[in-house]
Structures are given as C-alpha cells and as structure tokens.
A and B are shown apart, each in its own frame.
Chain A
Amino acid sequence: MPDKISEEKKIGVFVCHCGTNIGGLVDCEKLAEYSKTLPNVKYSEHNLYTCSETGLAAIKKAVQENDLNRVVVASCTPRTHEPLFRECIEEAGLNPYLFNFVNIRDQCTWVHMKDPEAAYEKSKDLIRMGVSKAEKLEELEKIIVEVNPSAMVIGGGVSGINCALSLNNQGFKTFLVEKDKELGGRLKELYQVFPSDKQASELLNELVAKVKEAKNLTVYTSSKLKSVNGFIGNYEIEIEQRNHNVNLNVGVIVVAVGATSYKPLSLFNYNSKNIITQLELENKLRDNQIEANDIVMIQCVGSRNADREYCSSICCMTALKNALIIKKREPNRNISILFRDLYTPGTIYEEYYRKAREAGVLFIKYTPDKQPIIDKSVVKVYNQYINSEISIPFDLVVLATPLIANNDNRELAQLLKVPLEENKFFLEAHVKLRPIDFATDGVYICGSAKWPADISESTTQGLAAASRAGTILSHKTIEVEGATAYIPDWNKDLCKGCEVCIKICPYNAIVKDENNEIQIIQALCKGCGTCASTCTKKAIVIRHFTNEQIISEILAFGGEKVA
C-alpha cells in the first residue's frame, strides 16, 4: 500500500438523506455542495441511503475515480453503521481507519426536529468538524495476539470442577488448582443436597470419576497460586505444590475459589453441642445422630444485619431441606423455623417450603429489632400475629449462618489484578450482562467466590465460565481494536511514573515493567481514553482520538487557539 499519509489529502464526503429522517428536515444536496467548499474535499455527493448497496457502490466508485484517501459519511450513527463503512472503504483499497463518521441524524435531525434551520446549521458545523478531523486521520493496524489454548481453573469445588470438565470436553488443556488435599470444596461437608435426595458424596464421586477420565485435565491439589504474569492468551503462572514450584502457561484463568461458612462464635450462645450451625447439623444427619425432640432453627444468623447487609441466599433452602430430612425419618419431632423472609424463589424451592409446612414444620417470622433470645432450655421469640412473646422449648438449636468471602480473596485478587466488592467477594465486569467476566479480558469468575450460590447455580456458572473462556481459546489468535492508548517514543521523557494511569485504567491494561517504565498492554486496552485524559504530563496518546485530531475539530467549529 502506498504511503497515503504523506500524500495530498483528498477527502470524499457522502451526505445521507436516510429517507426522510435527515433529508426531510435539512437539504442534503446543499450540505453536499457546502462540503465541497471545505479544505481538502475533492468530492461530495448525497444519497438517499448511503448504507444501501447503491450507496456503498457509489463510495467505492468515487474513491477509485477521484483517488480519494479519506472518506467522511454524514448520516445516522456509528453505533450501527461505522463497521459497515469501514469495511466498504477497505474494499475500496483504503485503510479502514481513514474513515470518519459524522452523526447528523441521532444527534442532530432527530433531536432538533422542530427547528430545521438550526438543524441545518448544526449539520454544517458537524460536517466541517468531521472533515477537519478526517484530514488528520492516520492509518492503523489491528493488533493480533496469539492465544495459548489452555486454561487454569483456581478452586476444585463444584463450580471449578464443572468448569474444568467442560473446558476439557471442549478440547482445551486445563489445569485445575486446588489448595486442599482433595477436590470437592464445600461439597465434602454436606450430607444430602437440594433439590433432590442425592447424597453430596455421591455427587462428588461422580464428578471426581469424570475428572479422572478427562484426558486434557491435570489436577494440582495442595497447591497455591504464587505468581501471575502476562495477559489474555498468554499467562505465565507459578504455583506452589507441597514445597515445590510448578510453572504453567495458559491462555485464560477462571476463579472458582468458593466461599467460607461463617462461624457464629458470639451469637445465640453457640456452643457446637446443642446450639450448632446448619453445617454441623449435616454431619449429625449423616451419622444419624439426632436425638433431639424439639428442634429450633434460626435463620439470618450473622447476615442481613448492620455488619453483613446481604442475604446469603442458600440458608433457607438448607434449613428446609434438613428439616424435611428429619421429619421424614421421624415425623413426630417438633421443628420450628424462625425466619425473617423465607427465601425460596422459583418453582421447586417454593415447593420445599410448602412441603415443610405440610409436614408440620412451624414457621415463625421475627423482625431484626426483636431478635429471638436463647434462655436456658427455651427460645423466646416475639410473634407478631398474636402480638406477644412465645417460648419454644428446645433440645437443639440450629443456626443458619451465611457464606462469607474467603480470607485470602484479597491476596488472590491482587495477584490477578481483579477487584473485590464491599463484602470481599469477587466483583464481575457487569452485574447484569457480564456476570461471569471480569473487566480484565481473559479472567472469569464463577460460583460462591462471586456470591453465595447453591449447587445447581454453581454448576451452571462453572459451565458458563467454560463457555466464556471458550470464546477466547477457540481461536489461534485474537484481533484487538487498533485505536488504543500508547506512549509515543517522543513522549517517553514526559512520563514521570506517577502511576495515576495504572490506578485509573478500568481494564488493568497499564503496568510498570522491570525498568520501572509504564507499559500499556495493547491486547487489553480498549482505547477508552481515561488514561490520556488524566495523564498529568500529556504523555499518553489515544490513537484515532489524538489531541491533534480533537483540537482540529474544535478549531473547525470556531474555537480559538490559546497560546
């Protein structure tokens, strides 16, 4: 390709009517005529629909016949149409970044529908600015990053195992790293699991058997992550396994470290004898050791309060499941569940609640301002329906405590450069639409490490992380947008290493290298511009949105240079 940058700038402008959306309000023919009067514009025309096959053919023809080296389209919105026009000029032999979009529909004729004259004047301004920027546009290349088609899953609980198995089944080499001696996580501590009567051990054995059969899967137990270097597609990992180090190279990382059961040491006279947690009850159920006749379960112990605002989401179902197991064995045992709001969303969980009521489990709502009190052999609780305190005798009190974030989450988060939320659970990229991704490309999150999740949800999230990881690992290389941030050589001296850019980058794309110099990892940069606009020394430049380009637009609008 000839060096078009040093060439004379020949800009073509195409003004789109968009049917009547633009053309019905402003005179597109006059706008095209006006465009011809602007500096460096060698060609202009107006089309009923520039995006139609006819319109695109007109662009290609004009580029070739007039030897254009910059193209401006004034039309709808880059949101939907920029890729189309970039592709079009690429087919005409130009670098796709030599295209500039001028939005005269969404941001002009649509918003100024009642003032056509002002809309026309604004369209002229926008086109003049766009042409001025086009003149400064530079060719850019997309960045190609090679991908190592393998994954590391941290945490061998139910979400991590399912994630690793799916990655294995998709054909990717997978390393499953577990800090405990055995796989299983919380599953090892449970007896029967909802929503079926299956034993946790049976479920775990099935999973472990599949892990053993998996050809692409290597398990490291008693292992801990020591260091992580690199970025999407190319991570260098060091793990420590029983006093020796193992080095792994992987393309992506999945966090599946689970959560910890909260011990209610100072709450409700907890003594792990006749006042125990639901988790301790699971052991007793497994060993068939329950002699108590009067059982009181208390929900939300250590959660939904000032210290821990959240609902742990799995405790109501655990209590119902365990109450039903006891009732099934011995229907005459008395079980009362003291709750605040019973959390059984959906079809099957609500059915558990109904079945428990039908089995004779007594449900008493309490409010946080009138907590139940354990007094010798009775639990006293205020019952609002009869407006008085009642005393329930007990042999056994079972406390439903929340899952809390692991102690070492902070350490892991720092190694991976990913964020935690206020309760120290891992924070995903977007609560709604990117629930399994971190903001950093190539790192994923699933299971209770993100938020307390039951078994089926942890399983699903494990699979989901395998899918998200698969979108990267399926490719030998990935292509990254060329309009990224960088520090040009001539600006290197400007950087004083203040690290503001490192702290502020939402994608963790900026690091300091071994020479203590700022490095912007091109594969991670999205070109958002946050770093450049906060850089105290103006050392960082955003390709395709350089200061020069933006200032030229401002000057074209009528701004004045201030010395």
Chain B
Amino acid sequence: MDNSRNVVVVGGGIAGIQAALDLADMGIHVHLIEKKPCIGGKMAQLDKTFPTLDCSICILAPKLSECYRHKNITIHTLSEVKNVKGERGNFVIDVLKNPRYIKEDVCTGCGDCSRVCPVRGVYNYFDVNLTTQAAAYIPFPSAVPPVYLIDGEKCAYINYGICELCVKACGAEAIDFNQKEELISIKNINSVILATGYDLAEFENPLRGYGYKKCKNVITALEFERLICASGPLGGHLKRLSDGKEPKKIAFIQCVNSRSYKAKQYCSSICCMYSAKEAMIAHEHDNELESYIFYIDVRAGNKGFQKFINRGETEYNIRYVKSKIAQIKTDAQQNPIIVYEDFESAKIKKLKVDLAVLATCIIPPDGIEELANIFKIDLNKYNFIKTDPFYPVLTSREGIYTCGCVHEPMDIPRSVAEASGAAAKAAESVREVEI
C-alpha cells in the first residue's frame, strides 16, 4: 500500500461511509474511524426513509458490507482521534482504540458468547436504551464489522474476576480479556474528512415541559423509529409504553427546542419530512390511525418532498395544525394532552392523544469542541463546524474537509451528495501530490 495516498475519514455514518467508498473506489486508501462498535450511524437505526419509504437498513446494509470488504478501506471501530500533527499532504493522526475484548479477526459473529453471558440488563444504545441485552453483544444483527464485543463496564470477569463462560462457549477462541486501550499512529495522511454526524437535544430539562420522561406516552422521534421498526423492541407492532395499547391518535410535535429564542434558534431541517413519514408508516400499520402534526412552517423543498407531504394529507389521515405548543400535560390514563395556540383561530386549544412524538433538535455531536481543538478548525456560532459559504465541504483549515450533519442539519440525500463532494476535494489533494 502506498501510504501517501491515505485519507482519514472520521465518523462511520452514511456520510462517512459514502466518502470512504468513493475514495476507496478511486484507489485511495481510507482509514474509517468510528467511535461506536460498528459503522452505520443514525441511518441504521431508522425504520424507513422518506420520500420513498425504503427500509433504511435494507438499503444501507449493502453499503456497510461494501465498506467491510473493500480492500482500500480499513475500519477502526471503538476508536477516537486523539492527536493530529503535520499539515495537508502529510498528517500524522493518533487514534485511541478501545478494547473490544473479542478478537475482531477471529470472531465469526455466531453469538454463542452472548447466549451464555450471565450479565443481563445492559442498555442497548442502538435501540435508544429501550431494550437491554447481555454484556457480550452485537448492536444489531447486520452490524459491520459482524463481530461481537464485551461491555467492559458490565462484564463480570473484567470487574470481579469470575465467570469466563464466554471463553468456554466460544468455539473460535476469539475472547481476549488481555486487550487494553491502544494508541495507534496513522502516518502519511494526505487529508481528512470529518463526518461525525449529530446528536439530538434530548437532555431532560428542556423536554420536561413537553412531558418527556414524566409521561411514558411522550417519546422522541428516534424512539418512535425503533418502536415501529420490525427489528426493534416491539417487533414492529406499535404500542404505548404505558399500557401496551395500540395508539389510535398520535401527535407529532415539530420544532421541539428549535426555531426558538429560548432554545436553539436554527431549524433542524429534517423533522417536517420524517414526522410525515412516521405518521405514514404508523398509518400503514393501522388504517384507522389519525395523526396531527403541530408545526410552524412545513419545509419540504427537496425532490419529491412536497408531493410526499400532500400524499400524507390526502391518503394517510394526517392533519396539519399551525401552532405553538404551550405544554404537554398528562391525564390519569397517561394520555398526553397537547396544549397549544392554534394560529388559524388565534385561540388556546387542547387535544388529547394516545401518543405524542417529539421532533427534537439536531445539535452538534458530543465532543465537537475537542474535535475542533484536535484538528485546529473553527466552529460556527451554533457550534457546528464552520464552513465556506459557497463550498460547504471546506473547513477553515486546508486539507480538512467535512460533510453531513456535523456542519449543518441535513437529510440523507444531501449528506450523501456532500460526502462525494468532500471525497472529490480529498482526491484532488491526493492527486496534486502525485502529479
């Protein structure tokens, strides 16, 4: 391998994956660095995607396998960038690799370790902590790399020195409790693409006015995605978490903590579309279902989006209520009651529903300041990565490119297009050195 052609992509969501695949297909070697145990990012957690209603994991999984099998891609999971030296054409990047306690190249993904593991009740981040699992686990069945890991904080052997049932159960002899944190240094990096995605503003306090965590039937949109997903905790049969009843009336609340002087002032960009999508999927599960979308502006500018919204209104029992939410109350049966100012009648109104879904605000990912410090790049006033106004893939520093939600809230098609755009700039940089 010719090292001068290396590019580092930080973040293994759909943006990072697309950037890595484009570069790898150009014959440029890519180190794909992912903090989580597997690649796929938020897209892997979604049920279906707008505006085509394709199953999300079904269209993503082939890309995951392609990354895994590509001879020009080295995937580093459970890894974080700790230090960057040098400049465009010759960066040196130190990566901290956390222990998996299972040998990645030996594990066959059979799951015998997980079946014998006596430690249960470990929250599964992939199901947004709605389910629990063993300490030896794989986040989801088609995870890439297709290997298990052991949660070091929960494992009985690591913490108390007893158990080792997985060691006995593993026919492939893949368990390795001697693994430690490891700092590896990747040299001769021509350029870097930052694609670390986003978090959602789901910290409790700002959501409390919406009844979140007080009422079990007020959930976030990402929780909804998992709950309605066939491979999710309810096997795809949408039920209320309080009493297991099937909801007949759902409220989707837009702009939760966004477009507001009190919280984030910007627009999260994707919620109008995914809320319509979620209402449509729920309706496909139950044709009698009614949905109410409480909104400020319906933002459906991309290809086929307005048509999708129109279809939702005419065919899927979706009603749009231009409004401002005051609060969400709860009655004795744990039914959310939406209290809102109705803009059409200019009156305060109430609506009792079975389930309320909050479109929470996209925020910069946890650790973005550290990332900016390490890479010596600027952030904008919203704490996203600052980019050139006309070249959104260029950061403030030469040789460091970006794509996807880490610099601006955006949907999947735009993330994918941007990823290719960032790959083009990285490729230009690599070729310049070659020529």
Contacts and interface: CB of A to CB of B under 8 A. Distances in A.
Interface of A: 17-21, 48-49, 51-52, 79-80, 83, 166, 169-171, 193, 195-196, 198, 203, 304, 309-313, 341-351, 354, 365, 384-387, 421, 425, 430-436, 450-452, 455-457, 459-468, 470-471, 474-475
B306 A304 contact: yes
Nearest to A303: B306
A354 B265 contact: yes
Given A346-B269, A471-B26, A431 B303 contact: yes
Nearest to B403: A460
Interface stretch (B82-90, B201-209, B282-290, B417-425): B417-425
A396 B418 CA distance: 39
Interface residues of B, number: 78
B391 interface: yes
B297 interface: yes
B2 interface: no
A203 B390 contact: yes
A254 to B, nearest CB: 12
B108 A52 contact: yes
B25 A313 contact: no
For A304, A348, A464, the residue with the greatest tally of chain B CB atoms inside 10 Å of its CB is: A464
B59 A432 contact: yes
B177 interface: no
A345 B299 contact: yes
**Top 3 closest pairs, chain A to chain B, by CB:** A19-B110, A313-B301, A464-B420
A310 B307 contact: yes
Interface of B: 14, 18, 22, 25-27, 49, 51-52, 54, 59-63, 65, 69, 106, 108, 110-112, 115, 146, 171-172, 259, 265-267, 269, 297-307, 310, 322, 343-346, 380, 382, 384, 389-393, 408-410, 412-414, 416-425, 427-428, 431-432, 434-435
Given A19-B111, A459-B391, A467-B420, 4 more contacts: A79-B65, A344-B299, A350-B266, A433-B18
B299 A170 contact: no
A52 B435 CA distance: 42
A307 to B, nearest CB: 13
Contacts of A346: 266-267, 269, 408-410
A347 B384 contact: yes
Chain A facing B: main interface SS: loop
A449 to B, nearest CB: 12
Contacts of A456: 389-392
Contact of A310 (B14, B306, B417): B306
A49 B416 CA distance: 36
B420 A463 contact: yes
A83 B165 CA distance: 33
B417 A461 contact: yes
Contacts of A166: 424-425, 428
Given A19-B112, A451-B302, A385 B409 contact: no
Contact of B69 (A83, A198, A348, A475): A83
A309 B310 contact: yes
Nearest to B105: A53
8 contacts: A18-B110, A48-B171, A49-B171, A83-B69, A341-B298, A387-B345, A421-B303, A460-B393
B176 to A, nearest CB: 16
Nearest to A165: B428
